[in-house]
Chain A
Amino acid sequence: MVLDRRGFMKFVAGAGLGVMATPIPWKLLDDAAIWTQNWSWIPRNVKGETSYTYAVSKMCPSCVPMKVRMVGGRPVRVLPVDGHPLGGGVSSIAVAEVQMMFSPGRVKRPLYRAADGAFRELSWAEAVTLLQQKLQAAGSSTAFISGDENGSTNDVLSAFARALGAGDIFLMPSEAQCAARAAELMGIPAQLGYDLENSDYVLAIGANLLESWGPVIRNRRIFRDGRPVAGKKELPARLNIAYAGAVQNNTAAVARPWLPVYPGTEGILALGIANMLIAKGCSFDSPDFSEFKLLAAKYNPEVTAKETGVDLKKLEAVVKALMAAKAPLVIVGSEFSQGSGAAPVMAGFALNALLGNINKSGGVCLLPRAEAGIDGASARDEIFKNDLTAWIADRKTPQALVLHEANPAYALPGPQAVAAFLKAVPFKVSFSTYMDETAALCDLVLPIGMGLERIDDVNTPYGCGKTVYCISAVAADPRADVHNTANVILHVAKEMGKDLGFEYYEDLLKTKAVRYEKCDFAVLAAGQAAVSEARVEFSGFTARADVLAKALSPKTRGNKLGLAPYAKLNLGTAKTGIPPYNTKTLRGTELDGKDMYVMMNAKTARKKGLSDGDMVVLDSGKQQIRARLRVFEGVMMDTVAVCLGYGHTALDEFSQNKGANVMELMVAVPEPQTGLNVWSGTGVTVSKA
């Protein structure tokens, strides 16, 4: 039989019908559906045995302790550590720190800048040789900037600086620096500490206590424990927090009350409160108490209200509560954790002295200063004496600059000027985990492990109420070709014939660990903290009314709006940029595509002829930034609130192309008498773009 067209059609029809009676169509239908749940391009779960290691975040300014969950030896999660003096939750930076090990912005290998200006890879051996040559040549004209104020890497850097005969070693500006300077001016040989744990009423002036001031997670744990949830059997709150500041920030959201004040008037408000306390009979023992009293008297309630914009009724209630509290505590700081100078901290200390809580339970405590672990190295407070912004302004360009986890080209006031300064330095090396703005300008970029991948330590971050020393052990295998900064420096020093006494950083940490009672290195490395209640005896202080009088003099704002910068941890730090998992936490009212929002209240906006959603230009006289306006009623009158952390030009796609860097607007000016620069009182004009 010849198979003709008709026959073929019949064959096909038969086959078609026959197939329906086989598993083919049905199995394929089912398997196709099963295929959709197992697409090869979707990552699979990788099982394994769960184990835990412990570390302390070197990335998050809160120095939060972390319990790292490992699955089959692979880190997957950061979990909180309860019962640790710095722990009790995780911050929005630290909680995805494991994931940040894989950020696209990481420096994977040592890089040097070739003649054509582009980065080329080189081996660590070559990199170290190059570094050694350059530092040898620069000698005493080498400067150091560290962005990690709590670690012992600074000991190594400063010992090395000393060995080189170099004096220019700096830490990035911070609240700790302001406080250290304040303590020094007042003649207190101690690190100021705050015994939040035992306080029952905290007035935070400017200090964004629950988001960016001090060891935040510890602060927030205390808030958690001190404020039982409002239930049926409601216990009276053990801890009340009042907040004075220009922006209704994270702290203000839960503070009762929020006292809105003009930005940069924290010190004046403190003096105003001092005046009210003195009027109620408070005093302290100080050679210049009478001067202080006179100075405070200038800030009678009316003047205080005028200068700070504070609501007197609310203020009086707060003062009353302070007086009534068993363990009142005043914390003065900056809404963006930098740049407010020493004077406000001094005024705050005087307030605490008026409340009689120095070295008392729940008050301000005087902690022994952190000491260096290497002979010849400077202690932290010594390094704090050097003001980085002032030094850069002086433009005494060094021959070589060593940066450790510091991003001054982004984080200092006037980043453009800082970048120009950096460009003038013949050799710059950045030890950095991420390719940040500063690293991108350097001649040599050396990848270091992020906190989870390296051994490091944390020594009593500013804000603690007791001495806390933690070792952060290596929790995870590095995801890049990294070395520890300190190890590299120790090695280079040795090669240069300047033995610093340690072969490895770990050895230094081991000698530090044994200083603490009942703690050995292994215990600390396993995640425990060494805690010491030791305090420096309080033997009086000088209020330094002379300094306060000059430094806290009222400023005329003129036609300008006060600039109120504020910091939020979910935007990361200058070192990290916005962590990948955090972009989703930015609200639609904070960032829209490339545009960031700045905020002012409706009355101020109306005054300026602006309305919600307008594109505006903020002009500090020197620099401008563009942003969108959000009308938000939680901002002080005549003030524009701006958030730090946007406007990265380096790092990765999670940080880039998002808003503008507010530091552009900041103008650092010397704070009279204190030797520090301040930039918290910047004024700006705001106009429609």
Chain B
Amino acid sequence: MSAKKEFNVKWGMAIDLDKCTGCGACMVACQAENNLAPVADASNKLRVMNWLVVFELSNNKEFPDHEVAYLPRPCQQCAEQPCATVCPVVATERNEEGGIVSQIYPRCIGCRYCMAACPYHARYFNWFDPVWPKGMEKALTPDVSVRPRGVVEKCTFCHHRYMMAKDKLRAQGKNIFVKGEKRGTKHSAIAEGDYVTSCAEACPNGAIVFGDLNNPAHRVYQLTHDNPNAFRLLERLGTDTAVYYISSREWVRRLGDNYLKDEITQKPEKILPKKH
């Protein structure tokens, strides 16, 4: 496997599961923004194209002690990607400042090895050509190319918005990076909030916070650093994801990873022997 790449800017999310009501607005916003085709019967969930899925979590207790939580799952944008390393044709990689895992549709040959590799099921295959009800294709955005059948796709953190935000800065004659407070660091000059994903933007509850995980001025940094309530999905796999979840409920945090019975819910470095 290739060495993990570090970037000055690492776009990431903090999703507050104590705030998400599971309404689905983020899923719809995602589809509209990224030109996903609607389907009349979406009940085969293993065949439905959704870059962002809201899972329903249960504490598995009987009434009345039952609790429910909703977990929106975009692509986790791993720093150690199970997917990009296995792609035979370099159709997906994480190689750009910002740390977003790319997915290049015209390169993808549709072998689906990346889907087999991704434990988050964040990758989707175009089983058929996308079809919109007559005329609805007129409402497609110009920012995301429409994928034909036979290629894999996934959430891109609305990467096109990142590109557009950078272009806006350039048009204003500004640099796209600024020096960070700490020596040797630099941050994106994009103001916090000028680049957000469609899901984060749509969420009325503000459950999804988007920003630069490396920039101490960003909310997402403050929410995820030294926060005992923050966790990531399947952290012990070492994927080093860019999507953090936050919950004050222990059972929710415990569902973020697999734990043996006698293990306590905490960060993997405390459960695991140190990696060599």
Is B273 an interface residue when CB atoms closer than 8 A count as contact?
A: no
Contact A229 B16 (CB under 8 A): yes
Is A95 an interface residue when CB atoms closer than 8 A count as contact?
A: yes
In the bound assembly, the distance between CA atoms of A80 and B66 in angstroms comes to: 33
Is A75 an interface residue when CB atoms closer than 8 A count as contact?
A: yes
Given contacts A96-B31, A634-B63, contact A229 B223 (CB under 8 A): yes
Residue with the greatest number of chain B CB neighbours at <10 A, chosen from A80, A211, A584: A584
In the bound assembly, the distance between CA atoms of A581 and B25 in angstroms comes to: 10
In the complex, chain B residues whose CB is within 8 Å of the CB of A48: 142
Is A221 an interface residue when CB atoms closer than 8 A count as contact?
A: yes
B32's contact among A34, A88, A98, A248, by CB below 8 Å, is which?
A: A98
Q: In the complex, identify which listed stretch (A36-44, A423-431, A492-500) lies at the interface while the others stay far away.
A: A36-44
Q: In the complex, identify which listed stretch (B50-58, B184-192, B233-241, B263-271) lies at the interface while the others stay far away.
A: B50-58
In the complex, chain A residues whose CB is within 8 Å of the CB of B134: 102, 104
A231's contact among B48, B140, B145, B227, by CB below 8 Å, is which?
A: B227
Contact A601 B63 (CB under 8 A): yes
Is A635 an interface residue when CB atoms closer than 8 A count as contact?
A: yes
In the bound assembly, the distance between CA atoms of A603 and B63 in angstroms comes to: 8
Within 8 A of A (CB), among B175-233: 201-207, 209, 219, 222-223, 225-229
Contact A248 B66 (CB under 8 A): yes
B42 to chain A, nearest CB (A): 4
Contact B141 A91 (CB under 8 A): no
Report, as a range, how many residues of chain B touch the other chain: 35 or more
Contact A77 B33 (CB under 8 A): yes
Contact B129 A217 (CB under 8 A): no
In the bound assembly, the distance between CA atoms of A143 and B53 in angstroms comes to: 45
B21's contact among A79, A211, A311, by CB below 8 Å, is which?
A: A211
Contact A42 B130 (CB under 8 A): yes
In the bound assembly, the distance between CA atoms of A99 and B38 in angstroms comes to: 10
In the bound assembly, the distance between CA atoms of A78 and B219 in angstroms comes to: 25
Q: In the complex, identify which listed stretch (A181-189, A403-411, A589-597) lies at the interface while the others stay far away.
A: A589-597
Contact B32 A588 (CB under 8 A): no
Is B132 an interface residue when CB atoms closer than 8 A count as contact?
A: yes
Residue of B nearest to A98 (CB): B139
In the complex, chain B residues whose CB is within 8 Å of the CB of A634: 63, 66, 68
Contact A230 B227 (CB under 8 A): yes
Report, as a range, how many residues of chain A touch the other chain: 35 or more
Q: In the complex, identify which listed stretch (A3-11, A13-21, A249-257, A547-555) lies at the interface while the others stay far away.
A: A249-257
Residue of B nearest to A104 (CB): B133
Residue of B nearest to A259 (CB): B64
Contact B203 A231 (CB under 8 A): no
Contact A569 B141 (CB under 8 A): no
Given contacts A217-B204, A589-B56, contact A250 B16 (CB under 8 A): no
Is A203 an interface residue when CB atoms closer than 8 A count as contact?
A: no
In the bound assembly, the distance between CA atoms of A92 and B205 in angstroms comes to: 12
A232's contact among B33, B137, B227, by CB below 8 Å, is which?
A: B227
In the complex, chain B residues whose CB is within 8 Å of the CB of A99: 32, 38, 136, 139
Contact B148 A39 (CB under 8 A): yes
B202's contact among A80, A583, A637, by CB below 8 Å, is which?
A: A80
Residue of A nearest to B137 (CB): A43
Is A378 an interface residue when CB atoms closer than 8 A count as contact?
A: no
Within 8 A of A (CB), among B52-108: 54, 56, 58, 61-70, 105-106
A581's contact among B32, B209, B246, by CB below 8 Å, is which?
A: B32
In the complex, chain B residues whose CB is within 8 Å of the CB of A253: 20-22, 68-70
List 27 contacting pairs A-B, 8 Å CB cutoff, sorted by A: A39-B129, A39-B148, A43-B146, A45-B141, A45-B143, A76-B139, A89-B202, A89-B205, A91-B25, A92-B25, A92-B28, A95-B29, A102-B133, A102-B135, A216-B204, A229-B18, A229-B209, A231-B229, A232-B227, A248-B68, A253-B20, A570-B25, A580-B136, A601-B63, A602-B62, A634-B68, A652-B133
Q: With contacts A46-B142, A89-B206, A99-B136 known, what are 7 further pairs, Cβ within 8 A?
A: A44-B146, A102-B136, A232-B223, A583-B38, A602-B63, A633-B62, A654-B38
Residues of B within 8 A of A (CB): 14, 16, 18-25, 27-29, 31-33, 35, 38-43, 45, 48-50, 54, 56, 58, 61-70, 105-106, 129-130, 132-148, 150, 201-207, 209, 219, 222-223, 225-229, 246-248
